[in-house]
């Protein structure tokens, strides 16, 4: 289900709409059908040095035989 961003030519309102098939989109403010679809830019993924959270503290593979959550004999 595509989510598109629009701007109304009549009242200059910018809004997003979930469009299914050939559904007619109207401005939620003034209900005009004179709208322009805007070019949406995808969100940039976060960058940084943080790694995924781990559930165990071991020097072996996560949740492997040396995992700190496994009972030791």
Does position 31 have pLDDT exceeding 70, yes or no? Answer: yes
Any idea where the domains of the chain sit in the sequence?
3-37
Interval 37-73: pLDDT, tens? 998 766 666 666 555 555 566 666 666 666 666 565 5
pLDDT for the residue numbered 44:
67
Strands of 3-8's sheet in order across:
14-18, 3-8, 35-37
Given pLDDT bands bounded at 50, 70 and 90, which one contains residue 3? confident
Selection from 14, 22, 21, 18 nearest residue 3 by Cα = 18
Selection from 24, 13, 15, 17 nearest residue 1 by Cα = 17
Interval 6-23: pLDDT, tens? 999 999 999 999 888 888
| pTM for this predicted structure | 0.53
């Amino acid at each position: 289900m595509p989510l598109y961003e629009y701007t109304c030519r009549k009242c200059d309102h910018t809004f997003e709409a979930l469009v299914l098939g050939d559904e007619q989109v109207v401005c939620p403010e003034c209900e005009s059908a004179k709208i322009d679809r805007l070019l949406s830019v995808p969100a940039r993924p976060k960058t940084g040095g943080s790694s995924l959270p781990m559930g165990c503290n071991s020097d072996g593979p996560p949740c492997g035989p040396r995992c700190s959550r496994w009972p030791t004999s």
